[in-house]
Structure 1
Amino acid sequence: MKYIIAGTDRPGSSTLKLSKYIQGIYKSLGEDVEIIDLLEVKEHLHTGPHYGKDEPGIRPYLDKIAQSDGLIMVCPEYNGSLPGVLKYFIDHWRFPESFEYRPVCFVGLSAGMFGGLRPVEHLQQIFSYRNAFMFPERVFIMASHKVINADGEVQDEAIKALLLQQAKNFGKFTKALSSAKLDANSVIELKKKA
């Protein structure tokens, strides 16, 4: 299963609304995709052991990441970068299995004119450093407060088309990696057999 990471803990965020919209796209393509909402994850980030320790509250989220067929990162821009809660969550992921050979795609959004370009590039630095497979078709949404309405519907036809194209092609990308046994889950299985 693929997971959409709604990259902020802000209540009622456009990020979560957009994540639900993207989930609907995948569902229309016949793929079941689950959302990891950082508002829910947040309460488990501040209890118990940290950084790589398998604390029970956060374990289900870490298991989902480490077993995913692919990750769809939906990231808003906060002060020229990604939200701290998203980086803190990523810092809890198990290494190397959560990152290496894991297919990842990116959607950025911001109220400003760059559409979340900076936080997506910062995320790409993290995932590149940790040897993930990064899908090259990124989507950036400028003036997100105008593009995504209160009901979570995307109002811009060009953005709708880009999100649909990304979902279709990310599906092909993950299938190609899996069929060649190059994706994270295949590599983990091969290491177990070795």
Structure 2
Amino acid sequence: MKYIIAGTDRPDSNTLKVSKIIQGIYKELGEAVEIIDLKELKQHLHDDIHYGKPSEALQPYINKVLGSDGLIVVCPEYNGSMPGILKYFIDHLKFPESFEYRPVCFVGLGAMFGALRPVEHLQGVFGYRNAFIFPERVFMMNVFKIINAEGQLTDELMKSLLVKQAKGFQKFAEALKTYKLDANSFIESKKST
């Protein structure tokens, strides 16, 4: 299963609204994906002060990442970068297996530049951790103007870009899996040796 990481803990965030829109797109494409809402796990990030030794309450979220067929990271721009909670969550994930050979794609949410900077920062982090980064990123400019009160996307161009990304990311992840180049295949091959 793929997971969407809603990369903020802000209540009633556009990030979670967009994550739900993306989840709906994947459902229309015949694939169930789940959302990891950082607002839900926020209370558990401070249960244990040692990186790499998560609390029992945090473990289910870590297991989702470790078993995922791919990650869709939805990231708003906070002060020119990613939200601190997203980086803090990443820092709690096992190294290297959390991202190594795992397909990942990015959707940025912001004002004028659609979160170009935080997505580029994330690409550096995920690249360092040897993830397979899908090259088609989506940058949602002025996101607060294109999401209505009901949480629906009103911009058809943005919707078409999200659909195009989802279709491409499905093919990308499936190709890696077919040739056993993805993280889960890599982990299985290590177990059998």
TM-score range, shorter chain: over 0.9
The answer for the alignment partner of 1:23 in structure 2 is 23
2:10 pairs with 1:34: no
> Residue type of the partner of 2:39?
L
Residue correspondence of structure 1 range 1-194 to structure 2 within 5 A: 1-110=1-110, 112-194=111-193
Q: Secondary structure of the residue that 1:114 maps to in structure 2?
A: coil
In structure 2, what is the Cα distance between the partners aligned to 1:84 and 1:105?
A: 19
TM-score by length of 1: 0.98
Contact 2:108 2:119 in 1 (8 A): yes
Backbone CA RMSD of aligned residues: 0.7
In structure 1, what is the Cα distance between the partners aligned to 2:50 and 2:92?
A: 7
In structure 1, what is the Cα distance between the partners aligned to 2:54 and 2:114?
A: 35
Which ranges of 4 or more aligned residues in structure 1 deviate by more than 6 Å? none
Contact 2:17 2:151 in 1 (8 A): yes
Contact 2:54 2:92 in 1 (8 A): no
> Residue type of the partner of 1:126?
V
Contact 1:49 1:55 in 2 (8 A): no
Q: Give per-residue Cα distances to partners, 1:24-49, cap 9 Å, x unaligned.
A: 00011110100000000101001124
Q: Give per-residue Cα distances to partners, 1:139-177, cap 9 Å, x unaligned.
A: 001111001112111111110000000001100000000
In structure 1, what is the Cα distance between the partners aligned to 2:133 and 2:62?
A: 20
In structure 2, what is the Cα distance between the partners aligned to 1:15 and 1:93?
A: 21
User: What count of residue pairs does the alignment treat as equivalent?
Assistant: 193
Q: Give per-residue Cα distances to partners, 1:43-69, cap 9 Å, x unaligned.
A: 100112431114201000000001100
What percentage of aligned pairs have identical amino acids? 69
In structure 2, what is the Cα distance between the partners aligned to 1:54 and 1:86?
A: 15
Please, which runs of 5 or more residues in structure 2 have no aligned partner? Answer: none
Contact 2:72 2:107 in 1 (8 A): yes
In structure 2, what is the Cα distance between the partners aligned to 1:154 and 1:114?
A: 18
In structure 2, what is the Cα distance between the partners aligned to 1:95 and 1:101?
A: 12
> Residue type of the partner of 1:162?
L
In structure 2, what is the Cα distance between the partners aligned to 1:125 and 1:54?
A: 24
Please, which runs of 5 or more residues in structure 1 have no aligned partner? Answer: none
TM-score by length of 2: 0.98
